[in-house]
Amino acid sequence: MISLNDCDPGFKFEVAAEPGGAGIKACFACAACSARCPVAGHREEYDPRRIIRLTLLGRREEVLSSPLIWLCSACYSCQEVCPQQVRFTEVLTAIKNLAAKAGYAPPSAKQIAGLLAGHGRLLAVTEFENEKRAELGLPAVEERGADYAAILGIAPEAAEAGEEA
């Protein structure tokens, strides 16, 4: 049972205010997006329209904490068929940003962020890589994790965590 009195009416405005989120409120639930979404075809619980609906009703925690929002493959099929120009792929990016801010990034995303913050790329640069690069005549690379950590707003411990994983 959802009680609208306990929902967050501001949530949809918050999403709409994020870059890419502007279209969300236009959705009139026609389901064209769900029909075309390849992820929905593979994961029973995944349904773009459902995510929009929950957002519009103001189910803040349910949406932001949902692991489903991270499943999108960003194929833009939904965006292409939408008659109301909701731009769901971009809306979802907005939602994911809010989720990350609220600390709901899934382990995989945290891991990626940690790797970026730790190394400036998705894998650690070791002697081995630079030796191989030298053999191929490529310049050596160095880790610039600090820059990314600053952009991502990630503390060094998190970067460590990413490294460990």
Partner 1 sequence: MARVCLIWVERPGLEGLDPAEVAKRAGLSLDPGGAIPAAVVTAPEWAAPPAVRSRLAGKPAQWLDLAGEVGGGPAEKRLARAAAAVARAAGRAALGTLPQVYTAQPAQTVLVAGAGLAAVAAARQAGLLGHPVILATPFGRAAQAGADDEAEEVSLLAAQLPAQVEVLAEAELRHLSGAAGDFTAELQTPQGAQLKRFGAVVLAPAGGYAPPELGLDPELAKPVADLPPEGLAGSPDKWLQAAVIAGVDAPATADAFARAVEAALALQARDFVQTTLLFSEARVASEGGERRYREARQAGVIAARVAAGGLEVAQGGRLLKWRDLLLDEEVQLRPDLLAVAGPVAAALPAFLANPVLWPAWPQLVPEGPRFSGGRTARSGLYIIGALRGTAPGRARRVEAAAAAADLHDRLTQGRATPVPSVRNTACASCLTCVRVCAHGVPRYGSDAIVCAPAACVACGMCAAECPAEAIAPPGWSNPELIAGLEAGLAKSAGTKAVLFACGQSGAQAFAELCRQGHEWPEGLLLYPVPCAGRVGMQLIMKALSSGAAGIMVAGCHDGNCRSVSGNLRARLRAGETAALLERLGLGPERVEFLHLASNQPRRLAQAVDRFVSTLG
Partner 2 sequence: MTIISTPVLILGGGVAGVSAALELARRGVPSVLAEKGPRLGGRVRDFCCKATQACVHCGACRLGDLLAEAAARPEAAFRSLALAAEAQREGGVWQVELRPQPDEGEADPLAQPLAEKTTVNAQAVILAVGYEPFDPRRKTRFGYGRVPGVMTALELEAMLGQGVLVGHDGQPPESVAFIQCVGSRDESLGNLYCSRVCCGFALDMAGLIKEGWPETAVTFFHMDVQGYGPSWEEALPHMRQAIDFVRAMPGEVSAGENGPRVCFAGPDGQPRSREFGLVALSQGLTPPASAGALSEMFGLNRNQDGFLGEDAALAVSGAQGVFVAGTAQGPRGIVESIDHAALAAGAAMESLFRAGKEAAHG
User: Mask of contacts with partner 1, 83-122, x by CB under 8 A?
Assistant: -x--------------------------------------
In this structure, what token pair is assigned to residue 74? 């960003």
Query: Per CB under 8 A, does 164 bind partner 2?
Result: no
Asked if 57 contacts 3 with a C-beta cutoff of 8 angstroms, the reply is: no
Query: Per CB under 6 A, does 93 bind ligand SF4?
Result: no
Burial of 77 (0-12, 13-18, 19+ CB in 10 A): buried
Query: Per CB under 8 A, does 25 bind partner 2?
Result: no
Place of tokens 């191929």: 136
Alpha carbon distance 74, 127 (integer Å): 35
In this structure, what token pair is assigned to residue 12? 């949809």
Alpha carbon distance 40, 21 (integer Å): 21
**8-16, 130-138, 148-156, 157-165 -> range binding partner 1 (CB under 8 A):** 8-16
User: Mask of contacts with partner 2, 63-102, x by CB under 8 A?
Assistant: --------------x---xxxxx-----------------
Alpha carbon distance 14, 17 (integer Å): 5
Query: Per CB under 8 A, does 32 bind partner 2?
Result: yes
Q: Contact positions toward ligand SF4, by CB under 6 A?
A: 27-33, 36-39, 48-49, 52, 72-78, 81-84, 86, 88-89
Q: Point out which residues bind partner 1 (CB under 8 A).
A: 1-5, 9-10, 12-13, 25-29, 49-50, 53-54, 56-58, 84
